[in-house]
Structure 1
Amino acid sequence: MIKAVVFDFDGTILDTESCEYNVLQKIYKEHGAELPIEVWGECIGTHSTYFDAHEYLEEQIGKKLDRDTIKQQRLDIFQELIKDREALPGVMEYLEAAKQLGLKIGLASSSSYKWVSKHIKNLGIEHYFECIKTSDDVETVKPDPTLFLKAVECLGVKPEESIAFEDSVNGAKAAKRAGLHTVVIPNLVTQHLTFEEYDLKLESLAELELQEMINQFTKQ
């Protein structure tokens, strides 16, 4: 019996990842360099220190740059791109459906609580989540399963009673290893990656109603 749903945040609820990649591509091009999507995609869903975009740029052009200036430029462009973004297709419908079905709703993100809480408040969806677990709550983020294990424990359900929604390879690995039913919804950045650990793959949550998804998992 499915009793809970647990959402990833970046790239699953809000398309921050495509925005971030576009920002970096713009900065790289200004310096005559390029950031391959295959390189960037490998760090999606895990800790931000996994890949240093500034260091990689310096390696590409063979010289040091003013990192503070680039960091501010990166932030300014990102904020402009993200300010009018809405939740990804199907997210609002799934949150409301989960609420109507009496399911517990959690969030498990490798990002910081400050980052996640700011954006879900801007989207007006913070009230849906009974439990939010972020990088602030664990020593090791995804693909380690701890975030999901802490989320389901907080919700008072078992992993096998829960469905996880993820957009990244690292996130899917974490959810599956934690024992949750795992649905992957790759975005423009992660769709080029090879997903190996998941139960169901969709183009968007709008593709399948939550109740129908639950029916599929309970028949297994």
Structure 2
Amino acid sequence: MALPQALLFDVDGTLADTERDGHRVAFNQAFQDAGLDWDWTPELYGELLAVAGGKERIKHFIETKHPTHPAQADLTAWIAGLHKAKTQHYKDLLAAGTIPLRPGVKRLIDEARDAGVRIAISTTTTPDNVYALLENALAPGSSDWFEVIAAGDVVPAKKPATDIYLYAMEKMQLQPSECLAFEDSYNGVRSSVDADIKTIITHNGYTQSHDFTGATLVLSDMGEPNAPFTVISGDAGSSTYLDLALISTMF
């Protein structure tokens, strides 16, 4: 069975539905702590997701929506402080067990480890967010399962730029043809596909209308043996859930 050398996973929206009831809630809690009357509704947050990166999202919100906020001598540092507070709220939500993994994620990761397929993270979210999700939603100590955790500001340009994937592959000494990426959004698929990596999409409520041109396979989720996925585009053959046997047909 021909398999990729490594599986490269996006995090938010791909491993777990973290955006609407995780990051968005944490942002609003941080805003409240800071005495701000900002309220990122589910609809507004859906718009803001077009901007990759939490600090970048706050900056974009200020520049485009012009909300009232205290005058700042160093706006960048102030935004970074807001984002730090948001990250702690997000970690608290994860610790409370309110954000489970999406269907099929743990099963596929376990199968890959058993088969000796290398795994890594390639995301725009901060490292703290990644570790918190893995340790609370996947398994204690599971951060160590991933050979590389490429996250946050480790590269200068975030998705849809290819930087984070190029960084991960460089650290793993792999070529694009030896990897398979998992994404959920337009920014994500542009980042991975433009890095010449075959990509599987599992969309979610925020991204189901995105343009996934270039993806090898677009699914509703990874599915489980007792809960089949829906194929949006691409060829899954007779498979009803994503496993290494299906992945091998792509290599």
TM-score of the two chains, using structure 1 as the length reference: 0.79
For 1:17, the equivalent position in structure 2 comes to 19
Deviation sequence 1:95-126 (CA, Å, 0-9, x none): 00111221010111111222212221223231
Of 208, 213, 221, the match for 1:191? 208
Answer yes or no: is 1:177 the counterpart of 2:191.
Answer: no
Deviation sequence 1:144-186 (CA, Å, 0-9, x none): 1121122122223221111100111111111111111101111
For 2:242, the equivalent position in structure 1 comes to 209
| Higher deviation after alignment, 160-169 or 78-87 | 78-87
Q: CA separation of 1:159/1:33 partners in 2, compared to 1, >3 Å: closer, same or farther?
A: closer
Deviation at 1:76, TM superposition (A): 8.3
Answer yes or no: is 1:145 the counterpart of 2:152.
Answer: no
Task: Give the alignment's Cα RMSD to 1 decimal.
Answer: 3.2
Q: CA separation of 1:103/1:75 partners in 2, compared to 1, >3 Å: closer, same or farther?
A: closer
Amino acid at match of 2:68: K
Q: Comparing both structures, which one devotes a greater share of its residues to helix?
A: 1
TM-score of the two chains, using structure 2 as the length reference: 0.70
Instruction: State the percentage of identical aligned residues.
Output: 22
Of 113, 117, 121, the match for 1:103? 117
Given that residues 6 and 180 in structure 2 are in contact (C-alpha distance below 8 angstroms), is that contact kept between their aligned partners in structure 1?
yes
Answer yes or no: is 1:136 the counterpart of 2:153.
Answer: yes
Q: CA separation of 1:121/1:155 partners in 2, compared to 1, >3 Å: closer, same or farther?
A: same
Number of residue pairs the alignment of both structures matches: 210
The unaligned stretches of length 5 or more in structure 2 are: 32-36, 72-77, 224-228, 230-240
Of 39, 46, 51, the match for 2:57? 51
Amino acid at match of 2:183: E
The unaligned stretches of length 5 or more in structure 1 are: none
> What is the CA–CA distance in structure 2 between the aligned matches of 1:74 and 1:205, rounded to whole Å?
29
Deviation at 1:33, TM superposition (A): 8.5
Task: Describe the SS at the equivalent of 1:205.
Answer: coil
Answer yes or no: is 1:92 the counterpart of 2:106.
Answer: yes
Deviation sequence 1:60-85 (CA, Å, 0-9, x none): xxx625699xx599678756654312
> What is the CA–CA distance in structure 1 between the aligned matches of 2:211 and 2:196, rounded to whole Å?
20
Deviation sequence 1:1-51 (CA, Å, 0-9, x none): 511100011111122212234667899xx87995446522312xx222433
> Map of 1:78-89 to 2, 5 A cutoff?
82=94, 83-84=96-97, 85-89=99-103
Given that residues 4 and 163 in structure 1 are in contact (C-alpha distance below 8 angstroms), is that contact kept between their aligned partners in structure 2?
yes
Task: Describe the SS at the equivalent of 1:198.
Answer: coil
